[in-house]
Amino acid sequence: MKYLPWILAIVGGWLIAAPFLLDYAGTEAAKNNDVGVGMLMVLGALVWGFRGLRHPGLSTDMHTQHR
């Protein structure tokens, strides 16, 4: 679970780059959807990931808090 935010950030980065790398940037709706969702994923994953670095017990393992 500790690597999940970084994996999500990579997937979000792919969503941002895909319209340009796969040459469907001319399809405005598909490009806007992929870039928008990718930006939300990257932003959310980075916030989650860096919060986990600053406060290790808060972001990933809820089982260790209930002891």
The per-residue DSSP string of 5-57 comes to: HHHHHHHHHHHHHHHHHTT-TTSHHHHHHHHHHHHHHHHHHHHHHHHHHHSHH
Evaluate if residue 59 carries a pLDDT over 80: no
Residue 25 within any structural domain of the chain: yes
Q: Is residue 66 part of a domain?
A: no
Does the residue 14 lie in any domain?
A: yes
Judge whether 63 lies within some domain: no
Asked if residue 61 belongs to a domain, the reply is: no
pTM of the predicted structure, to 2 decimals: 0.73
24 in a structural domain:
yes
Do the domain assignments include residue 37?
yes
Instruction: Kindly state the DSSP code that residue 65 receives in the 8-state scheme.
Output: G
* Residues spanned by the domain of 48: 4-56
Query: Does residue 41 lie in a domain region?
Result: yes
- Report the domain count for the chain: 1
Task: Note the pLDDT tens digit of each residue in 15-53.
Answer: 999 999 999 988 999 999 999 999 999 999 999 988 877
Measure CA 30 to chain center. Answer: 19
